A and B are shown apart, each in its own frame.
Chain A
Amino acid sequence: GQQVMQIPQYQHVQEGEDFTTYCNSSTTLSNIQWYKQRPGGHPVFLIQLVKSGEVKKQKRLTFQFGEAKKNSSLHITATQTTDVGTYFCAGRRGAQKLVFGQGTRLTINP
């Protein structure tokens, strides 16, 4: 079945450092979504990417969708303590079902 792999599983950074998480699919995706889950909370939708090679920015967050629509990345510039949490990518192929990656847990040393 469709699989979405996400790396790294954990990342610890100093506040102010950059952070990147990568998502790879075994199959071509129609779109990919990114979610953030704060500790003890629930996933919250951040963004959706649809087009090949698409790049979107939300303040310090930059999201990319690969040319082959099989991979994606989330990059955070100059992390802040409010960025702590687990970041999930989720890929959709055709129908509504989303397949989530395992998530990258980001911790930050202030």
Chain B
Amino acid sequence: NAGVTQTPKFQVLKTGQSMTLQCAQDMNHEYMSWYRQDPGMGLRLIHYSVGAGITDQGEVPNGYNVSRSTTEDFPLRLLSAAPSQTSVYFCASSYQGSSNYGYTFGSGTRLTIV
């Protein structure tokens, strides 16, 4: 099993550009989420999904869109990149039914907006 796969690993964007960060998992996890990590801020939840076709906002959703058309994929879209969105982005997944499982994180996407 590959676990949670994130692409790309690194990306530099210009202000105003759009892009999609990809996240795929092969563990049949119902729950998927996106976090951003900034120095001294821990991990902040952007958006999450409890199953295909269902998404909801986290703590810091502004400037980001998500969709969940399949169980496996949960892409994160930046509509118009801003320097404040420079961060490391992590996708995480887990089983939904039981709360006894921790999150499995992808290896992250380091995004720089110039």
Q: Write the residues of chain A forming the contact surface with B, with a CB cutoff of 8 angstroms.
A: 1, 6, 9, 30-31, 33, 35, 41-48, 50, 88, 90, 92, 96-103
Contacts and interface: CB of A to CB of B under 8 A. Distances in A.
B105 A44 contact: yes
B104 A45 contact: yes
Given A6-B42, A48-B102, A100-B42, A42 B90 contact: yes
B102 A42 contact: no
Chain B contact-residue range equals: 20 to 34
Given A30-B99, A48-B102, A102 B41 contact: yes
B1 to A, nearest CB: 15
A35 B43 CA distance: 11
A92 B45 contact: no
Nearest to A42: B105
Contacts of A31: 99
Contacts of A50: 99-100
Q: Which of A6, A31, A46, A102 has the most CB of B within 10 A?
A: A102
Contact of B40 (A9, A48, A97, A99): A9
B108 interface: yes
Contacts of B90: 42-43
Query: How would you classify the secondary structure of chain A's contact residues: helix, strand, loop or mixed?
Result: strand
A48 B48 contact: no
Contacts of A33: 102-103
A99 B43 CA distance: 8
A43 B4 CA distance: 12
Contacts of B103: 33, 35, 43, 45, 98
14 contacts: A1-B59, A30-B99, A33-B102, A35-B103, A42-B106, A44-B105, A45-B104, A47-B102, A88-B42, A88-B43, A96-B96, A98-B45, A99-B59, A102-B41
B31 interface: yes
Contact of A42 (B31, B59, B99, B108): B108
A33 B33 CA distance: 16
